[in-house]
Amino acid sequence: MKFMQFVHYINDIVAGFILYENRYDYNIVTEKRILQNEVKRMPRKYALPFVRNIGIMAHIDAGKTTTSERILFFTGKTRKLGEVHDGNAVMDSMVQEQERGITIASAATTVNWENHGQDYRINLIDTPGHVDFMVEVERCLRVLDGAVAVFCAKGGVEPQSETVWHQANKYNVPRIAFINKMDINGANFHNVLDMMRARLKSNALPVQLPIGQADSFRGIIDVIERRAYYYDNDDITKFTVDRVPEDMVDEVELCRTALIECAAESDDVVMEKYFGGEDISVEEIKSGLRKATIALKCNPVFCGTAYRNKGIQQLLDGITDYLPSPVDVEHVTGFDVHDSSIGIERKTDDNEPFCGLAFKIVSDPYVGKLTYVRIYSGTLKSGSYVYNSSKDKKERIARILQMHAAHREEIEESYSGEIVAVVGLRLTQTGDTLCDEDTPILLDSIDFPEPVIRVAIEPRTQRGQEKMLTALIKLAEEDPTFKTYTDSETGQTIIAGMGELHLDIIVDRLLREFRVEADIGKPQVSYKETIRKSAEGEGKYIKQSGGKGQYGHVKIRMEPLESGKGYEFVSEIVGGVIPKELIEPVNDGIREASRNGVLAGFETVDFRAVLFDGSTHEVDSNEMAFKVAGSMAFKETMKKCDPYLLEPLMKVEVTVPDEYLGDVMSSITGRRGNILGSELRNGVMIVEATAPLSELFGYATTLRSISQGRGNFSMEFDKYCEVPKSIAEKLQKNKKQ
């Protein structure tokens, strides 16, 4: 064994030399090629191969915020360390996030990191972990090139991490994993690896191994370099490098072989050397692993403790070593703005026409509205005009900001592959495409689910009413899963969102940011109405008694659409039967009327309204009359379309000790739930089920009492489904009273 260690020691020294000679050859070559192309056009500080757009994803409490915070610290952007439990973490820019210790909105932060003499730019997006904010996670994944999945060394793969992992699969996001909290009692690195393999079907390959766990956690082994890192407890930026402890040599070699085999599968050079029995350099292994990670064939696994500042520098190296740059992922694709059957591809290149996706809007106290944009191709210049192809409108880019954790930097232009914040966009909403007007493209928009829960909100003072409405509109602009409207029957202001916590936070922000005190009622389920079949109907609004009359007359057809499609309006008017300027008012009339369906006054969704005929009067026809006619036509037609009620169905996961399984199952089925399965994981039973949201209010309390406080449950929105007849009748009756 001693001899083996000596061999590794010599290997280390030799590898060290090779490392400095050949370091990142592939990157330098690519950069030179790119720089030659670019030099005439513009100087960009970071060539594309050295840019990383990454997100950090995790189950709540796994340590995402602390890890992001340490990344900011080690990249030199923040001088002092902020702790989440002290409530001064830099990424948690919103006060209430600090108090609750969770991260709600994503903050895009730009940092720099030097890895072996090469400077990298990392755009870091902090994603939320709570179920109520899953859409935030989705929208971040859409604009990222790679991600770090943080797991708790004790809890491992928790329900939420599983959900987020599957979302990342959906968007083909390459991932490395960071097993955090190696210092806590119960930390078990190998257990988390097993869970990743079993539950996430991940090819999880450790590139690091912990030296000791929990109280005895002392350092980290770099498997590829065969080195041990020990951290200095006094100076957190320091660590010492040593040989692999003797009792871990075999394990390190086993892991190293697994890494080489994976690298060989994705890299011909490594493959040849591997089968030829030749030595494979550290660089070659890393290069092969990088290819495998980007091709989604493996997930390199790191470990450490963010809280105790161990392993963060190596994690940053890992981000630059294994996660893709914008040129390593597929080029963005979209559609022709006039014909969605024609696909268009845009290369990640500064010389291509500009295109980008607005993925987040924040109302900022200093500059007004800030729109975060991921630039996919071309360059974006301050003071220029861009075309919003989703809205068919031109918008001016007043200023471009690069967002750092503690300050913002105004820049003149930004390039393909970057993430920036733009000031000056008035009409752009989350999910809109911005592009060059002469070469337009429409990128896929981001799908947002409909809010599932709603509650009436009232300002404490009469004077607060207007302020509250303005504030709510601003908040809805920022967050596409939050909606606000007036209930036309009760006249109350309603706010609707993805869960109770979501709405709590909105009320909290009203108070802190807009100084509006408001009370909310009891949360209600957001039921919807829809139709089963197509039918035609008519709306006639005619008033001709004395003075100027009113004349609006339309014929429409309503057709059911697939679930989740919302509302569509199509005009089939030809030959000017209804003049052009009166068509949009018909659309407005139908849309407004659809907010109160004919069954029980809930919003009507998933239907298309086709305007196909009508008539006008020379003098009495106007926009107002056609709007009313549209609304009348909607009410008449919907009744003929076999309308029915929809309710949100939730995916539920209950974690409970074995002995309470029977009671838990019957508590779910008693709530109109459907058990999908149950399994034993780490000594506790996990029950997966679906159940209507309306039955789940107060379920936390029920579960606590049947499991003597030992059960836990999480839920997330699944889909809208039909309300059973008996319940639908009750809802209709209540509404009519």
- Contact positions vs ligand GDP (CB under 6 A): 58, 60-66, 83-85, 101-103, 129, 180-181, 183-184, 305-307
Residue 58 C-beta: closest distance to ligand GDP, Å: 5
Residue 132 C-beta: closest distance to ligand GDP, Å: 13
Q: Would you say 182 or 632 has its CB closer to ligand GDP?
A: 182
Residue 127 C-beta: closest distance to ligand GDP, Å: 10
Amino acid letter, residue 510: L
Q: Would you say 107 or 668 has its CB closer to ligand GDP?
A: 107
Q: Would you say 302 or 634 has its CB closer to ligand GDP?
A: 302
The 3-state secondary structure of 621-646 reads CCHHHHHHHHHHHHHHHHHHCCEEEE
Q: Where are the alpha helices (DSSP H) in 267-332?
A: 268-275, 282-294, 312-322
Q: Would you say 65 or 416 has its CB closer to ligand GDP?
A: 65
Q: Report the alpha-carbon distance of residue 422 to residue 424 in Å, rounded.
A: 7
Residue 429 C-beta: closest distance to ligand GDP, Å: 28
Residues in a beta bridge with 483: 496
**DSSP labels for 498-532?**
SSHHHHHHHHHHHHHHH---EEE---EE--EEEES
Cα 550 to Cα 218, 617, 632: the distances in Å are 83, 9, 14
Q: Would you say 104 or 633 has its CB closer to ligand GDP?
A: 104
Q: Would you say 183 or 321 has its CB closer to ligand GDP?
A: 183
Amino acid letter, residue 264: A
Residue 222 C-beta: closest distance to ligand GDP, Å: 19
How do strand 433-435 and strand 385-388 relate by DSSP bridges? antiparallel
Q: What share of the chain is helix, strand, coil (3-state, %, to 5)?
A: 35, 30, 35
CA 566 to centroid of chain Cα atoms: 21
Q: Would you say 65 or 377 has its CB closer to ligand GDP?
A: 65
Residue 89 C-beta: closest distance to ligand GDP, Å: 8
Q: Report the alpha-carbon distance of residue 200 to residue 165 in Å, rounded.
A: 7
Q: Where are the alpha helices (DSSP H) in 298-374?
A: 312-322
Residue 182 C-beta: closest distance to ligand GDP, Å: 7
Residue 303 C-beta: closest distance to ligand GDP, Å: 10
Q: Would you say 212 or 368 has its CB closer to ligand GDP?
A: 212
Residue 130 C-beta: closest distance to ligand GDP, Å: 8
Residue 61 C-beta: closest distance to ligand GDP, Å: 4
Taking residue 538's Cβ as centre, other Cβ atoms within 10 Å add up to: 15
Q: Report the alpha-carbon distance of residue 358 to residue 362 in Å, rounded.
A: 11
Q: Strands, E, within 366-487: which ranges?
A: 368-377, 379-381, 385-388, 393-396, 399-403, 408-411, 413-415, 419-423, 433-435, 442-443, 453-459, 483-486
How do strand 118-126 and strand 51-58 relate by DSSP bridges? parallel
Residue 57 C-beta: closest distance to ligand GDP, Å: 9
Q: Would you say 77 or 331 has its CB closer to ligand GDP?
A: 77
Q: Would you say 87 or 560 has its CB closer to ligand GDP?
A: 87
- Contact status, residue 381 vs residue 422, Cβ threshold 8 Å: no
Taking residue 13's Cβ as centre, other Cβ atoms within 10 Å add up to: 8
Q: Report the alpha-carbon distance of residue 196 to residue 167 in Å, rounded.
A: 15
Q: Would you say 152 or 664 has its CB closer to ligand GDP?
A: 152
